[in-house]
Amino acid sequence: MKRTISICLLAAGAALVAIGCSKGQPASVLAKAVTVCLECIGIG
Amino acid sequence: MDNKKRTVIQALAALIQNADFRGFFHPGVSQAATKQVCVPGLNCYSCPSAVGACPIGSLQNSLSSWSFKFPYYIVGLLIFFGVLLGRAVCGFLCPFGFIQDLLHKIPFFKKIKNFRADRYLRFIKYAVLIIFVIVLPLCVKLTPFFCKYICPSGTLAGILLAFSDTGLFRLFGSMFMWKACVLGIIVLASVLIYRPFCKYLCPLGALYALFNKIALVQMKTDETKCTSCKACFRACDMCVDPSVNPNSAECIRCGKCISACPENAIKYCFVSKKSKVISDK
């Protein structure tokens, strides 16, 4: 039972990643990650 | 798991996640295309050498965006890492966890292993996850509350960035002073207490803790060999008792209990189909 839940959740996670990729979400993650996050470093 | 082997894995993981050393010699952060992938641990993407994106920072950024869209990609990656490894991410892959491990190796006349409020303080990290990472960024746009007010990894990134871009020093004001105090308290506490940030504040640890019981990487205590001598409990710096609950939400899978067990009753295993084999007494 435990293993079934784990595998289903793993598949759900992979499916969400695939949906996100199809919507171009990695690009928005990249856009934020390549600029200095002023809030993160304590300026913003 | 030999503790030295784990230290080597942690160092390698930290190096791989911070492999763009050019950032230390030029102002600004790494422009690597790999930053579209979130790393499993807490590693600020504003660290000059970071080659991946911080999952908590990315999640808050997405939730606090004016054009809110459900962050399938980030949520999917967090579920994937959580189910695959659970809190083994904290024990082996998180660079900030590694820093705390190193700080705890600094000798001090009295290390604090457990205290009365410890079990209650551990719930704070779940509140941080819900309030600072999810609710507040959803309600107040363009403000990643956890990154802005708490995240010590970001403060460390800011200090490193300021060495390559000295102009940043002039911009450090009261907010930076607040964050520097938070970082300072965590650094000092890490010398005395094992991984205080992971135990009490880390929202990523809280998230992975939810998956620990069903993660593919599990701990197993053989009830036929266990004599309940509690050597494992005494060895555990996270104050988990593997003879009672080998897959506790607080277990970071460091493996110290495996080395400590005189009967070799504890071992790593993959999540089993038969629930009786994995003993959660």
Residues B248 and B173 occupy one common structural domain? no
Please report the pLDDT score of residue B273 as a whole number: 56
Q: How far apart are CA B83 and CA B86, in angstroms?
A: 6
Residue A8 touches chain B, beta carbons under 8 Å: no
Residues B176 and B109 occupy one common structural domain? yes
- DSSP helix/strand/coil, B127: helix
Chain segment B174-185, per-residue pLDDT in tens: 999 999 999 999
Three-state secondary structure string covering A1-44: CHHHHHHHHHHHHHHHHHHHHHCCHHHHHHHHHCCCCHHHHCCC
pLDDT band at B94 (very low <50, low <70, confident <90, very high): very high
- DSSP helix/strand/coil, B37: coil
Give the residue numbers spanning the domain of B230: 216-270
Mean pLDDT of A11-34: 97
pLDDT band at B232 (very low <50, low <70, confident <90, very high): very high
Please report the pLDDT score of residue B151 as a whole number: 97
**Chain B residues closer than 8 Å to A28 by CB:** 62
**Chain A residues closer than 8 Å to B30 by CB:** 34
Distance from the first to the final alpha carbon of chain B: 23
Instruction: Determine contact, residues B84/B218, Cβ cutoff 8 Å.
Output: no
Out of B190, B210, B230, pick the residue that ends a domain.
Answer: B210
Out of B186, B210, B234, pick the residue that ends a domain.
Answer: B210
Residues B200 and B220 occupy one common structural domain? no
Residues B223 and B176 occupy one common structural domain? no
Residues in CB range of B176: below 8 A, 6 or more apart: A41, A42, A43, B155, B158
Query: What is the rounded average pLDDT for all residues in chain A?
Result: 94
Residues B7 and B135 occupy one common structural domain? yes
Please report the pLDDT score of residue B278 as a whole number: 46
Nearest to B74 among A29, A41, A44 (CB): A29
Domain ranges of chain A: 2-41
Please report the pLDDT score of residue B250 as a whole number: 97
Q: How far apart are CA B35 and CA B157, in angstroms?
A: 16
Nearest partner of B51 among B75, B15, B93, judged by Cα: B15
Tokens 């708490």 identify what position?
A: B150
Residues B250 and B146 occupy one common structural domain? no
Whether residue B23 is contained in a domain is answered as: no
Phi-psi region of B253 (alpha: psi -120 to 50; beta: other; left: phi over 0): left
Cα angle, residue B4 at apex, residues B2 and B7 outer, rounded to 5°: 115
Out of B65-69, B104-108, B231-235, which region has the weakest mean confidence (pLDDT)? Answer: B65-69
